[in-house]
Chains A and B, each alone.
Chain A
Amino acid sequence: MRGFRFWGLVPAWVLMAVTLIVPVMIVVLVSVSLRGPYGGFDWGFTLEPYREILFSTGWTDELEFDPKYLIIIGRTIALAAATTVICMALALPVAYVIATRGPRTKLVLLYLVTLPFWVSMIVRVYAWLIILGNDGIGGRLWQALGGGGLLFTPGAMLIGMVYSYIPLMILPVYAAIEKLDPALLEAGADLYGSRWTTARRVIVPLTWPGLAAGAILVFVPALGTVLEPMLLGGGKQMMMGTLIQTQFGGGRNWPFGAAIAIVMMVMVVIVLLINARRAIRKEGRA
């Protein structure tokens, strides 16, 4: 159509360049800069912030391998991965049940899945703080089952994270299941597959694109999550997001915070590249 040319894209490019593209480049520069004497940073070049991730400086200035940040990074990856896997395992049956309802029920159930997502994140996490506390229903249930304190454990963080991100998994998985031809299930049964064989060999492979899309949508924000470790982890169980935040929050060590942010970004880029390759491979096969 005439009249609409590239100039319509200019505001979007300018906005993103000013708020993201240029700043992210600055973050890269800051991550190799010197730590400022009173917080902040001084321009320069050093790999010190990255070295700090692995080594700490001992009493006599010698470098000692120190796994404390690696543990945080490992915990972050483990929790994000666990969140993703649990979301997948939950989304499959739930999305399947929704997709096999009548058209009206389907709409209502989808609406119910999406609805809590609109409620403020902080309110949702706060609610779990109450539930998982020692007086809360969740906490008491856990104790009745013989568990100790539930709040301020990785388990509490995991519950909060799954709760926060599950709709991002259900929607794409639902879309994939919705597209499944019911005749395929019948064909599976017709060819002597039991229900579970059909599920394993027909449903799961065919909904794989939905699961993969959901995995990206859940994993990326889960890596950067801040509220769950701060509130449900009680600040003791640090994750990369909270680590970054403390480096900037107290104005303490900007270059180190920037370095961690870059590490997180590289992890995200790797995940996105793996996903892109998978998509390209699939296109090639089709």
Chain B
Amino acid sequence: MKSLAELEAIKNKAKADMSARNQTAKRVVVGMATCGIAAGARPVMTAIVEELKTRGVSDVSVSMTGCLGLCKLEPIVEVIDADGKKVTYVKMDANKAKRVVAEHLINGQVCEDLTIAAVQG
């Protein structure tokens, strides 16, 4: 059973390796309106967070947003790099999300086959 007291340990651990942490530079945004949720966006978001934690990545922030306007291509994940360049991944699932974390967020290689251009084109 978890208790809120454990949060203090998380806080202290975070403080301890604050020096090793980079400023949050990259952002991941998951569309989480009715369309996204129904298409399975929630497990996609969790998969991204889990993968970031597993791989010890700390310069990426993950958040949800409303409808991105392309419901038939949900779940949609946008990756915004430090320089503001945005890549839109569509029809995501947990496995594709893990690939994006490894290839794009860590190694800097865009997963071209999962982008909106490749899938919709």
Q: Do they bind each other?
A: no
Binding site for A on B (CB under 8 A): none
